């Protein structure tokens, strides 16, 4: 029969990679402000008067969409495409489609994606490299590598209990003599 010490040793080895990923991603989260990840630093700081825009049946023009970006952000719009089909794990997941995806540039020349409502021009999301790294870390943290949205998935539940078992047996073995 396998001893508790040997069982703990092999279970710990099996779960250690995920524990390492949880720790690394947790450290990344704690050192990055969520406001920066969401792209809030790209909005101009002056108060913008909120105007209620009626929903159009017709999509706004490229020029109109670009003007909104130039007026409300510190970004320079470069190109635009329309997104009409949902893609698993995308930067715009969870948003109503269609969307305008405007490729813009910040002052450092980094590419930033801006997602806009095509009927009003409202900026719905800003996605940068920092957001993409955060999203990858989030997927590793919650063990949902495709969608990165399911916090209640079976892998996370199983590994959480295995980690708890490993920690508990580690404490028991610490006080138990060989």
Residue carrying structure tokens 């007026």: 71
- Residues of the chain with pLDDT > 70: what percent? 93
Cα distance between residue 28 and residue 56, in whole Å: 41
Residues 22 and 55 sit within 8 Å (Cβ to Cβ): no
64 or 87: which carries more pLDDT confidence?
Answer: 64
Band (pLDDT 50/70/90 cuts) for residue 47 is low
State the pLDDT at residue 53. Answer: 57
Residue 49, φ and ψ in degrees, nearest 5: -65, 125
Mean pLDDT to the nearest integer, 62-67: 96
Mean pLDDT to the nearest integer, 108-116: 96
Mean pLDDT to the nearest integer, 15-33: 90
Cα distance between residue 28 and residue 125, in whole Å: 21
Task: Quote the pTM value.
Answer: 0.78
State the pLDDT at residue 49. Answer: 59
Q: Is the pLDDT of residue 35 over 80?
A: yes
Mean pLDDT of the chain: 89
State the pLDDT at residue 55. Answer: 65
Q: Is the pLDDT of residue 16 over 80?
A: yes
13 or 85: which carries more pLDDT confidence?
Answer: 85
State the pLDDT at residue 56. Answer: 67
Q: Is the pLDDT of residue 60 over 60?
A: yes
If DSSP codes are grouped into helix, strand and coil, which group holds residue 35? helix
């Amino acid at each position: 029969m396998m001893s508790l010490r040997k069982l703990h040793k092999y279970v710990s080895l099996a779960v250690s990679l995920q524990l390492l990923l949880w720790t690394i991603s947790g450290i990344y989260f704690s050192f990055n402000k969520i406001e920066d990840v969401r792209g809030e630093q790209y909005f101009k700081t002056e108060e913008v008067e909120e105007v209620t825009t009626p929903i159009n049946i017709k999509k706004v023009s490229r020029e109109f969409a670009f003007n909104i970006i130039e007026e409300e952000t510190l970004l320079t719009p470069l190109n635009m495409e329309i997104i009409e089909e949902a893609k698993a794990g995308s930067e715009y997941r969870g948003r109503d489609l269609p969307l305008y995806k405007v490729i813009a540039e910040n002052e450092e020349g980094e590419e930033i994606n801006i997602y806009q409502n095509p009927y009003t021009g409202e900026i719905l999301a800003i996605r940068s490299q920092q957001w993409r790294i955060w999203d990858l870390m989030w997927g590793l943290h919650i063990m949902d590598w495709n969608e990165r949205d399911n916090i209640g998935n079976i892998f996370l539940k199983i590994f959480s209990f295995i980690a708890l078992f490993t920690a508990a047996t580690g404490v028991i073995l610490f006080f138990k003599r060989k």
